[in-house]
Amino acid sequence: MSKLFEKTTINDMTLANRFVRSATWEGMADEDGSCTSRLTDLMVELARGEVGLIITGHTYVRREGQAGIRQLGVYDDKLLPGLSKMTEAVHKSGGKIVMQLAHAGCHAAAHLTELEPLGPSVMENKKGPICREITLKEIQEIVNAFGEGAVRAQKAGFDGVQIHGAHGYFLSQFLSPFYNRREDEYGGSIENRARIVLEVFRSIRAAVGDHFPILIKINSEDFVEGGQTQEDMLQAVAMLEKEGIDAIELSGGSQRSKPALSPVRVGKLDSEEKEAYYREAARRYKKKTGVPLMLVGGIRSYDVAEKLTDEGIADYISLCRPLIREPHLIRRWKAGDTRKSPCLSDNLCFKPTMKGQGLYCVTEERENSASA
């Protein structure tokens, strides 16, 4: 049997295989962030497709931290009933599901929240400031909010949580000297820039206990001038390992990266060499730490996934857009049909999401219409 379909354990969570559905903004929640039956149905399809671990789309822990329309929330106990229905349905379908806890920081959607965005430092665009610098008191409030969100996830039946520390969102902003120009204990050295990330981890661990899996997603690098580097990532990883993080997902890029280096790059991956955007960063990671690594970014082929695990470059294979196109991809691969994902990496799937219509593969819909 392929290593990809081995059973593994992360803390007290046993997974049927090494495939992960990476957190993907679905745009299917209600306007207040509550879970809907449509969103639950999507998670159930992934479970039926035999994805080893499902990670929800980024789920905001405080109101001012909402990033986009119809984003899932975990900021209030009133959201628990819908979240509980989601986990119950996924578990009935044989799946495991982790909630990604997030805050958008200076990239929050003020037009939706009607609240002022907060970041490590003031950030500006052509129109002027887009956020103000967060105070020390507010830092601790958000640290606590991550812990409270994790408790809600645990109460709702999730199998673990993932801290969103990537893609230029709040915690990623602190890690990145591009965003973080503070001169206090949260700015400057990587030890200071990573301080809030470690505090978030400790807040969650103290709240949920030792046996509830806590994962984190971080950038291999930011791909912006003056941003987080691979060296920064490796130092942050070493600190997280010392704290006892259960697994790390490695990604890269942010809203300020060039499109060719963004987390969701456009362009057909027509050769295995083009796949696995962060392969070399993963090699460096594996030399540095023993924390299980989930690798995301541009993986489309079964053979590439198998090589990554066989060669010890990654412990888990995270997929985003391929599972939008084909939620049952893993089940197909397991059955022996190892043709690569038909995903074209065209990002058309995000257009309906941004319009509030929810996530789906536009290319597949057009192909089906053309052949009908």
CATH number for the domain harbouring residue 289: 3.20.20.70
Structure token digits, residue 324: 């939008």
pLDDT in tens, 29-68: 999 999 999 999 999 999 999 999 999 999 999 999 999 9
**Residue among 75, 169, 277, 278 flagged as catalytic:** 169
Look at residues 277, 264, 263, 268 and name the one whose alpha carbon lies nearest to residue 342. 268
Whether residue 217 contacts residue 253, with contact meaning beta carbons closer than 8 Å, is answered with: no
Structural domain containing residue 9:
3-371
pLDDT at 368: 82
- The number of distinct structural domains making up the chain is 1
Question: Which residues of the chain carry a pLDDT beneath 50?
Answer: none
Question: Catalytic annotation on 169?
Answer: yes
pLDDT at 372: 63
Model's pTM, two decimal places? 0.97
The amino acid that residue 330 corresponds to is I
pLDDT at 307: 97
